[in-house]
Amino acid sequence: MNNYKALIGLEMHCEISKTNTKVFSGAKNSYEDLPNCNINAIDMGFPGTLPVVNKEAVKKAIMASIILNCKQPEYLYFERKNYYYPDLPKGYQITQETKPAPIGIYGELTYECKDEIKKVRINNIHLEEDSASMVHLEKESLLNYNRAGVPLLELVTEPDFHNADEAVSFLETMRLIYQYAEISEADAKKGQIRCDVNVSIMDSDLDEKNPNNWGTKVEIKNVNSFSGVRDAINYEIERQIELKESGKYDEMPQQTRRWDEETLSTVYMRAKVDAIDYKYFVEPNIPKFKISSDWIETIKKEIPELAPERKEKYAKEYGLSNKDARTIVKDKILADFYEECISLKCNPKTASNWITGNILGYLNKYDLELKDIYLTPKMLVSIINMIETGKISSKQSKDIFVKVIEEEKEPEELVKELGMTQITNEQELISILEEIMDENPSQIEAYKKQPRLLDYFIGQMMKKTKGKANPTLASKLLKNRLDSIIGKETSMKAKVTDKCIGCGSCVAITESKIFDFNDDGLAECVVEEISDEDKELAETARDNCPTGAIEIEEE
C-alpha cells in the first residue's frame, strides 16, 4: 500500500424522511406501513398525472445545501433522467443534473477522523425522487411502491478521501447532520442511506492535485451500510493494487462494479463505454421557481443546533469530558434524551455518567436502541434523585434501572414494591451500631492496627439492616464511633482538581472559609487542615461540585 495512494469519492443518497408527503405527490412519506399503501396515481405514473413539488422537501434540501457550504441556485429546476426499470413507474426519475443547477454546488465540509480535522469538497447535492423498493425472490420479484417518490438527497463528493476510515467518518458526520437538522432519520437499516463509492489508486509519489496522475476510476454501486462502504473500499484498493503488481492494471477499463454482501467482494457490472445514456432534459411540468435570498436567510436561521455545537456545549457548559460528550452526540436520540434530563434539573455530570455507563452498557449488551426501551428521561432523573436524597443506595439504583426496562414500571413503584427504602435515620442506625460494638470487642481491638476492618463493621451493619442502611451514613457513623473508641484523632485535607470550572458553588457553600477563588478564577482549598466542625461543610461542598473536582482525604 505504501507505494500507492487511493483517491476515493462518495455518492451518498439519503432519504428525506421528515416530510409528511412525498416529493412530487400527496401520498404519505413512510414505508413502515404495509407495502403499496402509501401510493397514489402520481407515484404509479398513471397517464395524465403531473408532479407537484413539495416545498417542505425543497426547504430541507436547501438547508442541507447551506450546511454543506454549497452555493444555492437562483432558480429551482428539475430534470428527467430517462430509463426503464420496473421500480420506476414513469420511466423517468425527476432529479437535478448539474446543469442548469442542482440545489447546491461546490461546497465543503470539515469532519473528524481519528481526532484529526479533515476537509472534503462537495461537488453537488441535489433533490430527487426515490424509486420503488424491490425484493427479488427465486422466481419472481416483488415491488413496493411506498418508496416510489420519497424525497431523496444525493450528495456527490470530490475524490478527497484516501482511505476507508476517512470515507466512513465523513458518512457518520453526514448522518448526524441529517439527523440533527431534522432532515432525515438517516437510518441505514431502513434503507434510508445508500452509497456509491468510486475508488482509484495512483503512485504515492505523484501529485494528486493533477487529475492526469489519477488512476482508472472504478465505481461501486449500491453499498447499503457504512461497514459495507469500509469493506468495499478496502477490497477494491487491494484488488487494484494486485492488478498493478501483476502488471494488469493498464488493461482495466473504467467500470462500474457492485458490492456483493455475501462474498464481501466487488463484482463487475459494466464498462464505462456501456454506460446508460439517461437523455436528461428539463422537466416541463415544473416551472422554474425563484429561490429568493430571503427564503435562504430564513432557512439559515431555522437550522437546529447540530452535533458539533452540542458537543461543545456539553464539554464547556456541562463539564463533560470530550469522550463522553462525543459518545452522547453520536446518536441524536441519546443527545435529546440527555438534554431532556438536564431540563428536568438533573446534574449534567450525573446524567452523562448514567447515559454513557449504565444505559449504553445495557443497550449494547442486548443490541437495543434507546427508543426501544421503556426508560424515559423523567424515570432516569427520578432514579438519580432517589439516590441523591438517600432514599435508595447506588447499588439499589442499578437494580431499579434494569427492572424499569424489563418490567416496564415506574421507578417509584418498583422501589415501593421491592421495599427498597433506605434507613437514613441516624438514631436508628446508632442503636444498631451499639449492638455491633457490643458484639465485636475483639474486632474493635484489631481495628486499631488495621483501619481496613471498617469494612467488616459496615458488613455487619448491612447484615443487620438487610442491606437497607444508607452506606455513606453508616460508614461515617461507624468510623466516628470506632475512632472515638480507640481514641484516634482524624485529620482531613481537601484539594481541588483540574476538573474545576470555577462555578463557585464550593466558595459559596463554605463562605470562602474553606474554598475560595484563586487568581485564575478557579476554586482552591484555602486551609491546611479541615477542623472537625467544618468537616460536614467541606463534604457538602464536595457533593455539590458539578464537575466532581473536590477531593477530600482523611488520615
Partner 1 sequence: MKYMNKTIEELHKLLIEGKVTSEELVKESLELSHKIQDKYNAFVTIIDDAKPKEVTDNLLSGIPYGIKDNYSTKGILSTGSSNTLKDYIPFFTATSIENLNKVGAVPVNKTVLDEFGMGGTGTTGHTGVVKNPWDTTRMCAGSSAGSAAAVAAGVYPYATGSDTGDSIRKPAAYCGIVGYKPTYGMISRYGLFPFASSLDHCGVLTRSVKDAAIVVDNMKGIDPKDMTSWDSSNMNLYKSIDGNVKGLKLCYIKELCNIEMYQNASSELKEHLENFKKSLDLCKELGMEVEEVSVDKKLLDALASVYVVISCAEATSNMSNLTGLIFGPRGEGNNYIEMMKDYRTKNFSSLIKRRFVIGSYVLQSENKDRYFHNAQKVRRLLVDTWKNLFKEYDAVILPVGSGPAKHLDNSKNILDNDTVLLEEHLQIGNFGGFPSITIPNGFIDNLPVALNITGNCYEDIKVLNIAYALESEMPYKNQIAGGVSNE
Which SS3 state, helix, strand or coil, does residue 53 take? Answer: coil
Q: How far is the CB of 276 from partner 1 (least distance, A)?
A: 10
Q: Identify the residue among 20, 189, 287, 484 touching partner 1 (CB under 8 A).
A: 287
Of the candidates 475, 474, 471, 477, the one whose C-alpha atom is nearest the C-alpha of residue 392 is 471
Size of the site for partner 1 (CB under 8 A): 28
- CB of 133 within 8 A of CB of 111? no
If binding is defined by CB under 8 A, does position 527 make contact with partner 1? no
Q: Identify the residue among 243, 286, 462, 492 touching partner 1 (CB under 8 A).
A: 286
Q: How far is the CB of 37 from partner 1 (least distance, A)?
A: 16
Q: How far is the CB of 96 from partner 1 (least distance, A)?
A: 16
Q: How far is the CB of 317 from partner 1 (least distance, A)?
A: 47
Q: How far is the CB of 51 from partner 1 (least distance, A)?
A: 7
Q: Map residues 385-424 to x or -, x wherever contact with partner 1 holds by CB under 8 A.
A: ----------------------------------------
Nearer to partner 1, 34 or 50 (CB): 50
Of the candidates 326, 290, 308, the one whose C-alpha atom is nearest the C-alpha of residue 67 is 308
**CA angle, residues 337, 342, 347, in degrees to nearest 5:** 125
Of the candidates 265, 353, 381, 398, the one whose C-alpha atom is nearest the C-alpha of residue 547 is 353
Considering only residues 253-282, where is the footprint of partner 1 by CB under 8 A? Answer: 277, 279-281
DSSP per position, 320-375: --HHHHHHHHTSHHHHHHHHHHHHTT--HHHHHHIIIIIIHHHHHHHT--GGGSS-
Considering only residues 2-41, where is the footprint of partner 1 by CB under 8 A? Answer: 41
Considering only residues 34-93, where is the footprint of partner 1 by CB under 8 A? Answer: 41, 44-53, 80, 82, 84-86, 89-92
CA–CA distance, 462 with 468 (Å, rounded to integer): 7
**How many residues does the structure list for the chain?**
555
Nearer to partner 1, 45 or 502 (CB): 45
If binding is defined by CB under 8 A, does position 284 make contact with partner 1? yes
Q: How far is the CB of 66 from partner 1 (least distance, A)?
A: 25
Q: How far is the CB of 42 from partner 1 (least distance, A)?
A: 9
If binding is defined by CB under 8 A, does position 142 make contact with partner 1? no
Nearer to partner 1, 103 or 549 (CB): 103
**Paired strand residues for 9:** 198
247: left (phi over 0), alpha (psi -120 to 50) or beta: left
Measured CA distances, 355 to 104, 146, 362 (Å): 37, 36, 10
Nearer to partner 1, 247 or 284 (CB): 284
Q: Please state the φ and ψ torsions of residue 8, each to the nearest 5 degrees.
A: -125, 130
Name the residue with cell 443487620. 464
Nearer to partner 1, 41 or 430 (CB): 41
Note the residues at the interface with partner 1 (CB under 8 A). 41, 44-53, 80, 82, 84-86, 89-92, 277, 279-281, 284-287
